[in-house]
């Protein structure tokens, strides 16, 4: 715990308050624009959660240089946890941009050959294998789960003066954050071609730069303090210097975040025919934790019971035949996947069951390429009416949005071309 009154030089402290204030204003403006143009909730709630990292860091760093004791006890654990949470949120955003987990596993990566790990003893990574996808996702999420435990134990070690325990905690922390970022990089490596249309580099750098800046700067400053370069009270001075540097950097991070996560694609010009959610309901949707609880439950508790070939089955036998991976095929067979009719049909069997004749096979079929299913046409018979909206999340239709639709744009170009030809 920091108890001695030490301050930054006034020529450093005042610019810190100015840059932190500007960073907060810029970030909150971008977040507000996201909320008033809330047309893609599944995507924008993740964007807003990422944008909140800058004001949270700015507030934490500003308080740290004024009241280091308050910041270390109350704000630093929250800041550290949210930093880990943003890594998971960024992964969720990339997954959503690619069409979701099911699309990635069953369609997008079906033509991809397994990717070699940088650590060769780990073998290969095949994201069309639900088990591999789960392992990669857990590798990213473990940092989010570990961080609250780490922050709590760090406070205990500071109070009890357990220097040895604190040293081993630091080693575990380094392993956890490195493994999380490594898995995120492997996800990037496997799907870099598919991610390229979404300009992921700027988003990736924004997320990683804050994490790397806070970590490596803190490590370097802590090392300089151990070497005696800060004189008396090296721990407190190092803490103030670290947060003072971050205060100055927050302004640049705020600008970079606005460039990487703009609100304009969600405006009425970007989505002219889309309704937007009301402001208060947009805020409610953004801070609701239902999606987080569901995802954590599926990944941590259910795991392989959900992430298996039976739940992530390919919709076409042709897609399956494209996969030239014996491990993938054997894993699928091990979970109960079978062929019939000279590989023309496919089906799933229960654990330990073997169909004895063709009748049994027919009764066991779950998915089949040639199966004729009766379509439910009741919805087609309902006369066209006004679309019903969710009363829990009412929306607003922009009457001026038609100006930016594709048809109006083509009409304007046609009129302009005719005018120039005359």
Q: Give pLDDT tens digits for 103-113.
A: 898 888 888 88
Residue 247: other Cβ atoms inside 10 A: 27
Residue 298 lies in a domain: no
Residue 156 or 371, more confident: 156
**Strand pairing class (115-116; 124-125):** antiparallel
% of the chain at pLDDT higher than 90: 20
**Long-range contacts from 33-37, C-beta under 8 angstroms, 24+ separation:** 33/263, 34/263, 34/266, 35/279, 35/282, 35/283, 35/286, 36/276, 36/279, 36/282, 37/263, 37/266, 37/267, 37/268, 37/276
The pLDDT score that the predictor gives to residue 136 is 92
Residue 335's pLDDT is 58
Quick check: is 166 in a domain?
A: yes
- CATH number of the domain where residue 210 is located: 1.20.1070
User: Are 25 and 221 spatial neighbours (Cβ–Cβ below 8 Å)?
Assistant: no
Structure tokens at 356: 């004895």
pLDDT at 205: 84
- What's the CA gap between 235 and 393, in Å, rounded? 50
Lowest-confidence region among 68-82, 207-221, 376-390: 376-390
Residue 24 lies in a domain: yes
Q: Lowest-confidence range among 144-153, 176-185, 312-321?
A: 312-321
Looking up tokens 């300089």, which residue turns up? 224
Whether the pLDDT of residue 372 is over 50: the answer is no
Q: What is the pLDDT of residue 328?
A: 59
Domain membership of residue 207 (yes or no) is: yes
pLDDT of residue 333: 59
- pLDDT of 31 reads 96
Find the mean pLDDT for residues 126-155: 88
Q: Does the pLDDT at position 360 exceed 60?
A: no
Whether the per-residue pLDDT at 363 is higher than 50: the answer is: no
Average pLDDT over residues 383-406: 64
pLDDT score for 29: 96
pLDDT digits (tens, 9 = 90+) for 291-340: 888 888 888 888 888 888 777 776 544 444 555 555 555 565 555 655 55
Q: What is the pLDDT of residue 361?
A: 42
Q: Mean pLDDT across the chain, nearest whole number? A: 79
For residue 148, the model assigns a pLDDT of 86
303-328 burial, b if ≥16 CB within 10 A, otherwise e?
Answer: eeeebbbeebbbeebeebeebebeeb
Q: Given a cut of 50, is residue 357 above it in pLDDT?
A: no
pLDDT at residue 79 greater than cutoff 60: yes
**pLDDT the model gives residue 26:** 96
pLDDT for res 355: 45
Identify whether 223 is part of a domain.
yes
The count of domains in the chain is 1
- In the prediction, which pLDDT does 356 show? 43
Instruction: Compute the radius of gyration of the chain from its Cα atoms.
Output: 27
Domain limits for position 254: 10-287
Q: Please spell the DSSP secondary structure of 8-72, one letter per residue.
A: --HHHHHHHHHHHHHHHHHHHHHHHHHHHT---HHHHHHHHHHHTHHHHHHHHHHHHHH-HHHII
pTM, full prediction: 0.79
């Amino acid at each position: 715990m920091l108890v001695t009154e030490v301050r930054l030089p006034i020529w450093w402290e005042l610019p810190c308050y100015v840059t932190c204030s500007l960073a907060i204003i810029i970030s909150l403006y971008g977040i507000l624009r996201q909320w008033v143009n809330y047309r893609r909730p599944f995507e924008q709630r993740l964007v807003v959660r990422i944008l909140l990292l800058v004001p949270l860091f700015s507030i934490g760093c500003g308080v740290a240089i004024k009241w280091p004791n308050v910041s270390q006890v109350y704000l630093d654990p929250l800041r550290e946890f949210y930093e880990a949470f943003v890594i998971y949120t960024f992964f969720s955003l990339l997954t959503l941009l690619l069409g979701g987990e099911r699309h990635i596993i069953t369609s997008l990566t079906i033509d991809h050959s397994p990717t070699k790990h940088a650590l060769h003893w780990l073998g290969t990574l095949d994201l069309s294998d639900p088990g591999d996808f789960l392992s990669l996702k857990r590798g990213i999420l473990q940092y989010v789960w570990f961080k609250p435990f780490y922050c709590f134990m760090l406070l205990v070690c500071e109070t009890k003066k357990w220097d040895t325990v604190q040293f081993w905690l630091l080693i575990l922390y380094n392993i956890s954050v490195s493994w999380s970022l490594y898995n995120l990089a492997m996800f990037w490596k496997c799907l870099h071609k598919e991610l390229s249309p979404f300009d992921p580099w700027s988003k990736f750098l924004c997320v990683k730069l804050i994490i790397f800046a806070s970590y490596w700067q803190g490590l370097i400053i802590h090392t300089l303090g151990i070497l005696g370069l800060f004189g008396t009270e090296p721990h407190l001075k190092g803490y103030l210097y670290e947060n003072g540097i971050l205060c100055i950097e927050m302004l640049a991070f705020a600008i970079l975040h606005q460039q990487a996560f703009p609100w304009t694609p969600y405006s009425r010009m970007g989505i002219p025919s889309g309704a937007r959610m009301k402001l208060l309901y947009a805020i409610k949707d953004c801070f609701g934790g239902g999606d987080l609880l569901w995802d954590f439950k599926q990944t941590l508790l259910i795991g392989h019971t959900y992430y298996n070939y039976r739940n992530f089955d390919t919709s076409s036998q042709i897609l399956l035949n494209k996969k030239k991976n014996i491990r993938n095929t054997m894993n699928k067979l091990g979970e109960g996947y079978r062929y019939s009719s000279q590989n023309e049909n496919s089906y799933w069997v229960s654990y330990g069951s073997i169909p004895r004749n063709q009748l049994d096979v027919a009764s066991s079929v779950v998915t089949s390429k040639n199966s004729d299913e009766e379509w439910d046409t009741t919805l087609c018979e309902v006369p066209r009416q006004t679309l019903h909206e969710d009363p829990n999340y009412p929306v607003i239709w922009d009457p001026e949005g038609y100006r930016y639709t594709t048809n109006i744009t083509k009409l304007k170009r046609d009129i302009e071309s005719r005018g120039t030809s005359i």
